[in-house]
Amino acid sequence: MDSIVVKGGRELNGKIHIAGAKNAALALMPATLLSEEPLTLTNAPRLSDIKTMTELLESLGSEISSLQDGKVQVMSTHGRINTTADYDIVRKMRASNLVLGPLLAREGNAIVSLPGGCAIGARPMDIHTDGLEKMGASIELNDGYLHAKAAGGRLKGAVIDFPFASVGATENIMMAATLAKGTTVISNAAREPEIVDLATCLRAMGAQIDGDGTSRIEIQGVDRLGGATHPVVTDRIELGTYMLAPVFTGGEIECIGGRMHLVENFAAKLDAAGIDVSETKDGLKVKRRGDRPRAVNVKTEPFPGFPTDLQAQMMAMLCFAEGTSVLEETIFENRFMHAPELVRMGAKIDVSGNTATVTGVDKMKGAPVMATDLRASVSLILAGLASEGETIVNRVYHLDRGYEHVEEKLSAVGAQIERISSK
C-alpha cells in the first residue's frame, strides 16, 4: 500500500487545475444504459472510482473506451444486456447502486447487490427502493441482492416525496423516470450541482426534465433516448479542498475551473474565517488575510448548505485557527474518523456524537497517520502542509478514489510532498 510523505512549512503559490467531478461522472456513466446510442463524457476525472464504474458497466455489457489520457469516456450499450450487478464490484463502491434505476428503466428488471455499509455510515437504500416501488417496481432482498421487476415490464410515473434529500436516490429515480410511462414528480429532491449536471446530460439525450437544482423535479417519460456528448461539471469538492491549501501554508493559489456558485456556502465560511476568495476569469483565487484563520462554526447540510464532503478538510484547518470551533455533522453518522489522526499531530478535538469541538493550537507536529476514508485522507495531507516536520499518510488508496495525483498538483505549487510505493 502506498503512503504519502509531506514536509510542512513551505508557502504555496501558483495555479491548480480542478478536474471534472467524481460524483457527477459516477452518475453520468450509468446513464449510458438508458440508450443504445453512444454517450461521450469529456473532462472525465482519472480516478480509481471511475475505473470501478467502468468495470461494472462492462460487466453489464457496455463498451467503454477512454481517449485522451482517460479524460474522454465513450460508452455504448447495444442490444440485450446483463441485468445483474455483482457483489464483488458493487461492494467496492457504493455509487454502483446507480445502475439500479437505469437497468429497471431499460430492461424492466435488475438484480443489484446491496452495497453494504462503509466507514462513514450504514448508508441504506430505502429512499431509492421506496421511490421505485411507487413507480410500479416490486423489489425483494434475497442473498444480499435487490431483485427488482417493473410491473408489466415498464415503470410508470409517480409522485414521490423523499423523507431526506438523498443525492443517489434523486439520481436513480430521475434516470428511471426518463423512460417511464407518464410523469414523475420528486419532492424534496437533492439540489447538488451534480444533479443539475446529470439532468443536463439526460436532456441532451432527449429526456424531458424540469426543476433540477430545486427541491421539486418533474420528469415526463419518453419512449427512447439517444446519444449525447456532455462535459463533466467541475469537481466542487476537489475545488474546496485546494482552496484550503494556501490557508495552511500562506501564499496565494488560483484554482483553475473553479466557479463561485459551486462553493457559495463554503466560500462564505472561509470569508468569516478571515480568508479572501475572489473569482477570476479562469477560476477562484484564495489567500489568507492574517497568519492564522479565525475559528468558525460549521454545520453540514444538503446543498446549498455546507457540504459534508468538505467537513474533514475544514476541521483540519480549524485545528490551527484562533479560537474554538464547533462542527456538526448531520449527513453521516460516523464521519469524524480523521479527528483522532489529527490529534496525533497535536490538534485539540473533543468528539461527542455528531459534534466535534476544535480548540485551535498555534502549531501542529508531523506524525505517521492513517487514512480512513476518501475525504479524511486529504484532510491529513492538508494538516501536514501546516505542521512542523514530516507527516506520513498511510493507506492512500482511499485518496486515489477521489483525487487525481494530489502529490503532483501540490508539489507544482511549492509543497514538499512525495508518494512512497510499498510493494
Smallest separation (angstroms) from ligand EPZ to the CB of 278? 26
Minimum distance, C-beta of residue 37 to ligand EPZ, in the bound complex (Å):
25
Number of residues located near ligand EPZ, criterion CB under 6 A: 24
Q: Does 128 bind ligand EPZ (CB under 6 A)?
A: yes
Q: How far is CA 366 from CA 175, 245, 264, 311, in A?
A: 46, 16, 32, 21
Active site residue 118: yes
C-alpha torsion 309→312→317→321, nearest 10: 120
Please answer whether residues 143 and 179 qualify as being in contact, where contact means their C-beta atoms are separated by less than 8 angstroms.
no
Q: Which stretch binds ligand EPZ (CB under 6 A): 84-92, 120-128, 281-289, 336-344?
A: 120-128
Pairing of strands 208-210, 183-187: unpaired
User: Which CB atom, from 401 or from 409, has the smaller least distance to ligand EPZ?
Assistant: 401
Q: Minimal distance in Å, beta carbon 39 to ligand EPZ? A: 18
CB of 126 to ligand EPZ, least distance (A): 5
**Which residue in 118, 201, 255, 319 is the catalytic one?**
118
Closer residue to ligand EPZ (CB): 248 or 303: 303
Check binding of 230 to ligand EPZ (CB under 6 A): no
Q: Considering only 165-173, 200-208, 250-258, 260-268, which stretch makes contact with ligand EPZ by CB under 6 A?
A: 165-173
Q: Which CB sits closer to ligand EPZ, 41 or 413?
A: 41
Q: Of 125 and 186, which CB lies nearer to ligand EPZ in the complex structure?
A: 125
| Listed ranges 125-133, 257-265, 272-280, 354-362: which one lies at the site for ligand EPZ (CB under 6 A) | 125-133
Candidates 6, 25, 89, 95; binder of ligand EPZ (CB under 6 A) is 95
Out of 25, 56, 132, 167, the only residue in the binding site for ligand EPZ (CB under 6 A) is 167
Q: Which stretch binds ligand EPZ (CB under 6 A): 8-16, 119-127, 357-365, 377-385?
A: 119-127
Which of 9, 124, 144, 152 is the binder for ligand EPZ (CB under 6 A)? 124
Pick the binder of ligand EPZ from 125, 155, 233, 349 (CB under 6 A): 125
67 contact partners, CB below 8 Å, separation of at least 6: 74
Residue 275 has which C-alpha cell? Answer: 480568508
In angstroms, give the least distance from the CB of 99 to ligand EPZ: 12
**Segment 291 to 320, residues that bind ligand EPZ, using CB under 6 A:** 308-309
Instruction: Rule CB under 6 A: say whether 381 interacts with ligand EPZ.
Output: no
315, 374, 378, 381: which one binds ligand EPZ (CB under 6 A):
374
One-letter-per-residue 3-state SS of the chain:
CCEEEEECCCCCCEEEECCECHHHHHHHHHHHHHECCCEEEECCCCCHHHHHHHHHHHHCCCEEEEECCCCEEEEECCCCCCCEECHHHHCCCHHHHHHHHHHHHHHCEEEEECCCCECCECCCCHHHHHHHHHCCEEEEEECCEEEEEEHHHCCECCEEECCCCCHHHHHHHHHHHCCCECEEEEECCCCCHHHHHHHHHHHHCCCEEECECECEEEEECCCCECCEEEECCECHHHHHHHHHHHHHHCCEEEEECCCHHHCHHHHHHHHHCCEEEEECCCEEEEEECCCCCECCCEEECCCCCECHHHHHHHHHHHCCCECEEEEECCCCCCCCCHHHHHHHCCCEEEEECCEEEEECCCCCECCEEECCCHHHHHHHHHHHHHCECEEEEECCHHHHCCCCCHHHHHHCCCCEEEEECCC
Among 308, 268, 262, CA closest to 165: 308
Under the binding rule (CB under 6 A), the answer on residue 398 touching ligand EPZ is: no
Retrieve residue 161's grid coordinates. Answer: 416525496
- Pick the stretch among 71-79, 103-111, 123-131, 410-418 that binds ligand EPZ (CB under 6 A): 123-131
Site string for ligand EPZ, 18-57 (x = CB under 6 A): -----x--x-------------------------------
Residue nearest to ligand EPZ (CB): 168
Nearest CA to 220 among 190, 188, 180?
180
Q: Could you tell me the smallest distance in angstroms from the CB atom of residue 25 to ligand EPZ?
A: 9
Residues 331-360 that bind ligand EPZ (CB under 6 A): 331-332
Residues forming the site for ligand EPZ (CB under 6 A): 23, 26, 94-95, 121-128, 164, 166-169, 308-309, 331-332, 374-375, 402
